[in-house]
Structure 1
Amino acid sequence: MAIILVADDNTMLRKTIRTVLEKANHTVLEAQNGEETIQILRDSTVDVLLLDVVMPGKGGLETMLEMNSGKITTRIVVMTGKLDTTSEPFQTICRRFRAEKILTKPFTNISLLQTIAEITQPPGDD
C-alpha cells in the first residue's frame, strides 16, 4: 500500500484521514503546515501528498511551488474547503503545480479512498 503524507492545519481532520487510510492499510505521516511538509518530503519516501491549500505560514500553493523548484516529485492531491475548486483559474494553478486531483472539503471517506486508489493505481491497470 501507499505511504501518504497528510498536510493540514486542522488536527481533527488529519486524525480522521489517518484513521480512514490506516484502516485501508496505508502508512500515514502528518504535517500541520507547509514547512513541516517540505521537511518530511525531503527526509522520507512519500507516495502521495494530501495537501490543504489554506494553512498558516506556508500554504499549499507555496508548498507546491517549493516542491517543484526542489525537484520533489511526490504525487499531489489538493484539499480545500475555502476556495472554489470548480473555477478554471484554481484548476489551472493546481495543474501547473502538478496536483493530480482536487478534494473539496468536506469529503466522504469513500471519495478519499477512491481518490487515493486512482492516484496510486499503476499505469495500465484501468
Structure 2
Amino acid sequence: MMARVLIIDDEQRVRSAVRQMLKSGGHEVTEASHGLMGMNMLKQMSVDVVITDIFMPVQDGLQTIRELRKSHPKTKILAISGSEWSETYDVLHLAGKLGAHRVLRKPFTVAELETALSQCLDPAAPRQQA
C-alpha cells in the first residue's frame, strides 16, 4: 500500500536514508528538519504517516506527537530515536504513551521500517502498547 509520509528528523543523513527506503517501496515522501517545520507543512498538505525523531532542536518529537494528536488525530505516527534512555525515562516508551502508533530504535533495517509503516497503515492493527 502506497502512503504519503512526512519524515521529521534534524539529521539530514537519517532523512535521506529513510526517504530512500520509503521511495524504493513506492511511497511519496516529504521531509522536515524539526517538529515546528513539520507541523507548518501539515497546514498545507495531508499525509498518512508522520515519522518523527524524538530529540530535535526548535520543537522535539514529543511535543510534535502531542500536537499531531490534537490537530491531526487520524494521522498515524511512527516515533524513531537513537537514544534509548534519557536520564529519567525511555523516550520511545513515552512517545507511545503520548500517541505514537509504532516506535523504532535507530538504527533500523528496511524490513523493520516497512513492517512498522504497514502496521501504522493497517486499520485493523491496534496501536502498539507502550
TM bucket by the smaller chain?
0.7 to 0.9
Q: 1: CA distance between counterparts of 2:55 and 2:89? A: 18
Query: In the TM superposition, what whole-angstrom CA distance separates every residue of 1:24-71 from its partner, at most 9, and x where no partner exists?
Result: 0000010000111101122111100100000011100111222234x2
Instruction: Say if 2:95 is the partner of 1:123.
Output: no
Residue type of the alignment partner of 1:38: M
Deviation at 1:93?
2.6
Residue 72 of structure 1 corresponds to 72
Please state whether the residue corresponding to 2:38 is helix, strand or coil.
helix
Residue 105 of structure 1 corresponds to 106
Residue type of the alignment partner of 2:59: K
Residue 82 of structure 1 corresponds to 83
Deviation at 1:89?
5.8
What TM-score do you get using the length of structure 2 for normalisation?
0.83
Residue type of the alignment partner of 2:62: L
Q: 2: CA distance between counterparts of 1:6 and 1:32? A: 8
The number of residue pairs the alignment matches comes to 122
Structure 2: runs of 5+ lacking an equivalent: 126-130
Alpha-carbon RMSD across the aligned residues, in angstroms, is 2.1
Deviation at 1:18?
0.6
Q: 2: CA distance between counterparts of 1:67 and 1:25? A: 24
What TM-score do you get using the length of structure 1 for normalisation?
0.86
Residue 128 of structure 2 corresponds to none
Q: 1: CA distance between counterparts of 2:9 and 2:23? A: 17
Q: 2: CA distance between counterparts of 1:48 and 1:78? A: 10
Residue type of the alignment partner of 1:39: N
Q: 1: CA distance between counterparts of 2:62 and 2:123? A: 27
Structure 1: runs of 5+ lacking an equivalent: none
